[in-house]
Structure 1
Amino acid sequence: MATSFIDKARITVKAGNGGNGVVSFHREKYVAAGGPDGGDGGKGGSIVLQVDDNLSTLMDFRYKRKYVAPSGADGQGGRRSGKDGQDLIIRVPRGTLVRDAETNEIIKDMSGTEPYVLCKGGRGGWGNSHFATPTRQVPRFAKGGLPGESHDVILELKLLADVGLIGFPNVGKSTLLSVVSKAQPKIANYHFTTLFPNLGVVWVEDGVSFVMADIPGIIEGASEGAGLGHDFLRHIDRCRLLVHVVDVSGSEGRDPVADFDAINEELKQYSPELATRPQIVAANKTDIMEDPENLERLRAHVEGLGYTLLEISAAAHQGTRQLVGKVAGMLSMLPPVTVYEPEYVPKPPVIDTSAPLDIRRADDGHTWLVEGPWLQRLMSNTNFGDYESRMWFDRQLRESGLYQRLEEMGIQDGDTVSLYDFEFEYQR
């Protein structure tokens, strides 16, 4: 099995919590009634994904599975806000799919260059200066910060290549890639030389080039996980065009027609859509061909199926430029590399609202301070700029019995209910 290439990893990510607001009053000689000056807590750092073209594997995620961004600092007196937590940048190879670990839905396809905020940092809590009003001039309370978002995700690497080289092991795919590009894959005369995909940029002429990937050899049963199986079949998913390399030399006693059909059957079993991808058949090792009948049988078979066959010898550099020209011509007429659309829709969390909240009346007699762990989580999952989200939030509070408890404690119409960094006027 491949040990040096990691193309799937599960990680846990958590954004930083918001810092707490502080209770503070301005005290200065000869200045009477300085008033509240407690600063707000800083925002927690977010988890941000960024494409790094210097990375080609997910190897780093084998050794580190948990990523936590720093929290925001608490506020200070003198209306000084706490320092925001620094965003944690996680660098991934281009072409990495981010999936929700629970549902396997695609959250983001990291194929572009824009960074993606996977988990938002918690909002900082308000200091007491934030709560000062003409009727509430001496607020002796502040609010804690809200927790940052967390997520379990699966990272899955699907190489961004225009062209995928497919075929049985040891048919000359790595040699072909090394000849037509500047890639330097490991090449030797034994099966499964290629344990992870190699990419190379193929230059055709000024302004015309494409990316070719040498996909590790597929064997019969790969679609069911045999050999390297699904580990590498997934890398063909994005390729717009497949170059099917077939050994016609007969040096290993193989039947080129049977090999061609076997590989296409594996593609069909893995993905029927993938089996319909355009193909060019490259009959390789023609310079050491023992029986020309092998080539003619293969030609008749593939052309009968509508494919183009080109004769090449990658090792002898014969026919490779013609193959490159044919590939470039077909690519110019094909749609761009597939980019996967997000499938993930965040669902409102199931929050246990049965635990009692801490409710107390402020010194002014008209402000009610409400706090509690589940309320923190509820607020961190609420978009207060969205009407439906606010209605969902109000319904959760009502069903928890909060309003009933406030009425039992004597709240009056027009009183202020203060929930962390959110306030509203109470109306029955």
Structure 2
Amino acid sequence: MRFVDEAEITASSGKGGDGCVSFRRERFIPRGGPDGGDGGAGGSLYVEADPGLLTLYDFKRKRMFAAQNGRPGMGRQRFGRSGEDLVIYLPVGTQVYSIQDGEESLLADLVSPGQKVLLAHGGRGGKGNMHFKSSTMRAPRFAQPGEEGVELRLRLRLKVLADAGLLGLPNAGKSTLLSRISAARPRIGSYPFTTVNPNLGVLRDERDTQMVVADIPGLISGAHQGRGLGDRFLKHVERTRFLVHILSVEDVDPGNFQQGFQVLNQELEKYSPELALREQILVLNKIDLLSAAQLEKLGQAVAASSLRVHLISALEGSGVDALVQDIWASFYRLSLAAK
């Protein structure tokens, strides 16, 4: 199934049923009077976060949704049946915006599994003519119509929810690392932009604590302006607690490796200053491509810096265990701080 993180749909709550105009007609009971029942209420419109969904793909195929209308009232003071509510199930992390006159307003931000938000009440059912009888109006020949439902144009935006985000330039080895540390099997290739959709992997510790790691598709300089895969995927970084910033040793100067990390950090700051301040674990990948002398020089530069840097080979596994331990350390610390 294709990953889709934005969609636009139209959804409406149900119309209330009309009240009934009816008069009691029974043998030997003259002037029976009005007995029209009320219409049923229309179904309400809800959205709910479903952890089993990962994409908005279905909403590219179906764009119109409507709750059930209420049934009209009937004679003998019988009330119409209420319409069934409509629940639209969305992936966890979806934001729901209402579009009106070209302006968007946030209606719901589904950040927790099972979270359910009411978007629109169903229309109220109309009153039957039995309600309008009075001393001066013995035979009302009118009833109240049902209230119309509410129609909404909605824009759905999915922002992947993850504890840690793997961030890096194209072909840095993020997908390879994710496949080594989790059961995820993302597409892997030896060319840029192999990953064109966010991939999620799950890590578990010895206590069966779960941590979700997202492989964010490769970003390049100018991503905040839409270059490369652009800011379409920068929004997914917003949901992560911390970042694992990965560079290939092919893209850095061993004597000045810090400069390599500045490219994407500048993009993060231009997109959102808050993102630039998020905790980062720095990783230099593909050390299997270096000679012993080159690796020693790079190791000396890392040791001389005060940065939190790991030298790894995601392909061969060297250094990965220490990196995973550091990722868990950040997870535990930030989880504790959030309580």
Asked if these proteins are the same fold (TM beyond 0.5), I'd say: yes
Q: Which residue of 2 aligns with 1:215?
A: 216
3-state SS in 2 of match to 1:334: helix
Q: Which residue of 2 aligns with 1:117?
A: 118
Distance 2:297 2:284 in 1: 10
Q: Which residue of 2 aligns with 1:261?
A: 262
TM-score under structure 1 length normalisation = 0.72
Which letter maps to 2:322? Q
Q: Which residue of 2 aligns with 1:285?
A: 286
Which letter maps to 2:149? G
Is it true that 1:158 corresponds to 2:159 in the alignment? yes
Q: Which residue of 2 aligns with 1:22?
A: 20
Indicate how the Cα distance of structure 1 residues 122 and 59 shifts in structure 2: closer, same or farther if over 3 A, else same: same
CA deviations on 1:192-213 (whole Å, 9 max, x unpaired) are 1111101111112214221100
3-state SS in 1 of match to 2:233: helix
Query: C-alpha displacement at 1:271, in angstroms?
Result: 0.8
Distance 1:198 1:283 in 2: 21
Q: Which residue of 2 aligns with 1:82?
A: 80
Distance 1:337 1:125 in 2: 53
1:56 corresponds to which of 50, 54, 72: 54
3-state SS in 2 of match to 1:333: helix
3-state SS in 2 of match to 1:177: helix
Distance 2:297 2:26 in 1: 97
Distance 1:194 1:281 in 2: 20
CA deviations on 1:266-305 (whole Å, 9 max, x unpaired) are 111111110000000122122332422663476268x44x
CA deviations on 1:108-163 (whole Å, 9 max, x unpaired) are 10112232121221111111122335665433221101111122221111111010
Q: Which residue of 2 aligns with 1:330?
A: 330
Q: Which residue of 2 aligns with 1:34?
A: 32
1:204 and 1:324 in contact (8 A); partners too: no
Is it true that 1:320 corresponds to 2:323 in the alignment? no
Query: C-alpha displacement at 1:40, in angstroms?
Result: 0.9
CA deviations on 1:287-333 (whole Å, 9 max, x unpaired) are 332422663476268x44xx411222211122222222211212222
Indicate how the Cα distance of structure 1 residues 52 and 216 shifts in structure 2: closer, same or farther if over 3 A, else same: same
Which segment is superposed worse, 285-294 or 267-276?
285-294
Paired residues for 1:93-172 under 5 Å: 93-101=91-99, 102-112=102-112, 113-133=114-134, 136-172=137-173
3-state SS in 2 of match to 1:211: strand
Distance 1:319 1:33 in 2: 93
1:162 and 1:337 in contact (8 A); partners too: no
Distance 2:7 2:230 in 1: 17
Indicate how the Cα distance of structure 1 residues 332 and 254 shifts in structure 2: closer, same or farther if over 3 A, else same: closer
Query: C-alpha displacement at 1:237, in angstroms?
Result: 0.1
Distance 2:26 2:308 in 1: 87
Q: Which residue of 1 aligns with 2:247?
A: 246
Distance 1:32 1:297 in 2: 106
Distance 2:170 2:206 in 1: 31
Distance 2:154 2:337 in 1: 24
3-state SS in 2 of match to 1:13: strand
Which segment is superposed worse, 110-119 or 157-166?
110-119
Distance 1:275 1:58 in 2: 28
Mark the runs of 5 or more structure 2 residues left unpaired by the alignment.
none
Distance 2:337 2:198 in 1: 17
Query: C-alpha displacement at 1:66, in angstroms?
Result: 2.6
1:257 and 1:297 in contact (8 A); partners too: no
CA deviations on 1:164-204 (whole Å, 9 max, x unpaired) are 00001111111111111111111111111111101111112
Query: C-alpha displacement at 1:59, in angstroms?
Result: 1.4
Mark the runs of 5 or more structure 1 residues left unpaired by the alignment.
339-428
Rg larger in structure = 1
CA deviations on 1:334-382 (whole Å, 9 max, x unpaired) are 25899xxxxxxxxxxxxxxxxxxxxxxxxxxxxxxxxxxxxxxxxxxxx
Distance 2:223 2:86 in 1: 38
RMSD after superposition: 2.3
Indicate how the Cα distance of structure 1 residues 261 and 320 shifts in structure 2: closer, same or farther if over 3 A, else same: same
